[in-house]
Structure 1
Amino acid sequence: MACRTSTTLVLLLSLCGAPVAGATAAVSGASVDATDAAPAANTAFLAEVRAALQQANNGDSLGAAIVLDRLLADPRMATLDVAERSNVWASAAMVSGAQKQGDIALQRLQQAVAIDPHNAYARLRLGLTQMVDEQIDAAADNVILALADTDGEPDMPAEIVWQLDMLLKHQPARRLGVLQGLFDHDWKIDGIEPVEVWVNLAILQVEAGQHDKVAATLERIDSPAPLMRLRADKRFDRYLRRDDPRYDPVAASRRHIDRLRVEAMLSPGVNETAVELSDALMVAGDLQDVVGMTTRLAEASREAGSAPPELARHVAWMLDTRSRAFRRLGKTDEAVDTQLLAVRMAEPEGDTVSHRLNLAGLYAALHRPLMAREMMKGLDDLSTYGQSSRALIDLQIALQLNDAAAATRAREQLFASRNDTPGHYRDGLLLENRMDDAAAGMIAQLADPMDRSTALLELQDTREAPPLPEEVLLTARWKQLKQRPDVQAAVRRVGRIESYPLFSH
Structure 2
Amino acid sequence: MTALRALALAGLLALSGAGAAQAPQPAPVPDAVLAKVRASDQAAGREDFSAAADRLAEALELPEGASLAPTAQRRLHAYIARYAAWSGDLPRGLRHARLTTGFADAELEDWAMHAYIARDLGLHDEVADTFREAFRRWPRQVRQDHDLDVAQAVWATDFDSPARYALLKTLYEGGFEWAWTGPADELWLDLALQHLARGEQAAAREVVAGITHPRLVIELLADRRYDAVRDPALTAEALPRLARRRADDLRARALLDSGVVGIQAEYASALLMLGENEDVVALAEQVAATIADNPFKGDVYVDQHEQLSWLYDRAGEALVRLGRKDEAIAMYRRAAATREDGQDNVSQVLTLAHHLVSAGQPREALEVAASVGRMSPFGRMVQASVQHRAALALGDQEAADAALGYLRDNREQGESVYAEALLDRGQDDAAAAALVANLENPVERGDTLYSVQRFRDSASLEPARDARWRAMLEREDVQAAINRHGRLLELPIHAPW
TM-score range, shorter chain: 0.7 to 0.9
Say which SS state the counterpart of residue 273 (structure 1) adopts: helix
Q: Distance in 2 between matches of 1:50 and 1:222?
A: 53
Residue pairs, 1:100-499, within 5 angstroms: 102=90, 105-113=93-101, 121-144=109-132, 146-147=134-135, 151-154=139-142, 157=146, 160-161=149-150, 163-169=152-158, 171-192=160-181, 193-244=183-234, 248-299=238-289, 308=299, 311-347=304-340, 349-350=342-343, 352-468=345-461, 471-499=462-490
Give yes or no for the alignment of 1:40 onto 2:27. yes
Q: Which amino acid aligns with 1:502?
A: I
In the TM superposition, residue 361 of structure 1 has moved relative to its aligned partner by 1.0
**Residue 92 to residue 222, structure 1, CA distance change in 2 (3 Å):** farther
C-alpha change, 1:24 and 1:318, in structure 2 (3 Å) is farther
The code of the aligned residue for 1:456 comes to L
Evaluate the alpha carbon distance shift between residue 395 and residue 23 of structure 1 in structure 2; reply closer, same or farther with a 3 A threshold: farther
Structure 1's 51 and 498: CA in aligned 2 closer, same or farther, altered over 3 A?
farther
Distance 1:217 1:28 in 2: 50
Q: Residue 89 of structure 1 is aligned with which of 77, 80, 86?
A: 77
Q: 1:236 to 1:21 in 2, by over 3 A?
A: farther
| More moved, 365-374 vs 162-171 | 162-171
Give the Å deviation of 1:118: 7.6
Distance in 2 between residues matched to 1:197 and 1:212, nearest whole Å: 18
Residue 286 of structure 2 aligns to which amino acid in structure 1? Answer: R
Residues 110 and 369 of structure 1, relative CA distance in 2, 3 Å threshold: same
Measured against aligned partners, the alpha-carbon deviations of 1:88-137 in whole angstroms (never above 9, x if no partner) come to 42255346656766565434314324556987653443232122233445
1:501 aligns with 2:492: yes
Please, which moves more after superposition, 187-196 or 90-99?
Answer: 90-99
Secondary structure in structure 2 of the residue aligned to 1:269: coil
Deviations 1:37-57 (A, max 9, x none): 66432699999999999x99x
Taking a change above 3 Å as real, the CA distance of residues 264 and 148 of structure 1, as seen in their structure-2 partners, is: closer
- Counterpart CA distance in 2 for 1:24 and 1:423 is 51
Over 3 Å counting, the alpha-carbon distance change for 1:44 and 1:224 in structure 2 is farther
Q: CA deviation at 1:246?
A: 11
- TM-score under structure 1 length normalisation: 0.80
Q: How does 1:30-69 map to 2 (within 5 A)?
A: 39-41=26-28
CA gap of 1:371–1:25, structure 2 versus 1, over 3 A, is farther
Q: Which runs of 5+ in 1 are unaligned?
A: 1-15
Q: Please state whether the residue corresponding to 2:99 is helix, strand or coil.
A: helix
CA gap of 1:119–1:158, structure 2 versus 1, over 3 A, is closer
Q: Give aligned-pair identity as a percent.
A: 24
Match of 1:10 in 2: none
Instruction: Give how far 1:61 is off.
Output: 9.5
> Aligned equivalents of 2:351 and 2:325: distance in 1?
13
- Tell me how many residue pairs correspond in the alignment: 483
Hey, what does 1:11 align to over in structure 2? none
Q: Distance in 1 between matches of 2:128 and 2:440?
A: 26
Please list the CA deviations of residues 416-440 of structure 1 after superposition, one character each: whole Å capped at 9, or x if unmatched: 3323422111111111121222222
Q: How far 1:475 sits from its partner (Å)?
A: 1.4
Distance 1:110 1:329 in 2: 54
CA-based RMSD:
4.3
Give the letter aligned to residue 320 of structure 2. R
Letter paired with 2:66 = A
Matches of 2:175 and 2:7 in 1, distance apart?
20
Q: 1:117/1:439 Cα in 2 relative to 1: closer, same or farther (>3 Å)?
A: farther
Assess if the C-alpha contact under 8 Å between 1:27 and 1:91 holds in 2. Answer: no
**Partners of 1:61 and 1:95 within 8 A in 2:** no
Moved more, 103-112 or 368-377: 103-112
Deviation at 1:496, TM superposition (A): 1.4
For 2:9 and 2:202, the matched residues in 1 are separated by 41
Cα deviation for residue 397 of structure 1 reads: 0.7
- The alpha-carbon deviation at position 199 of structure 1 amounts to 1.9
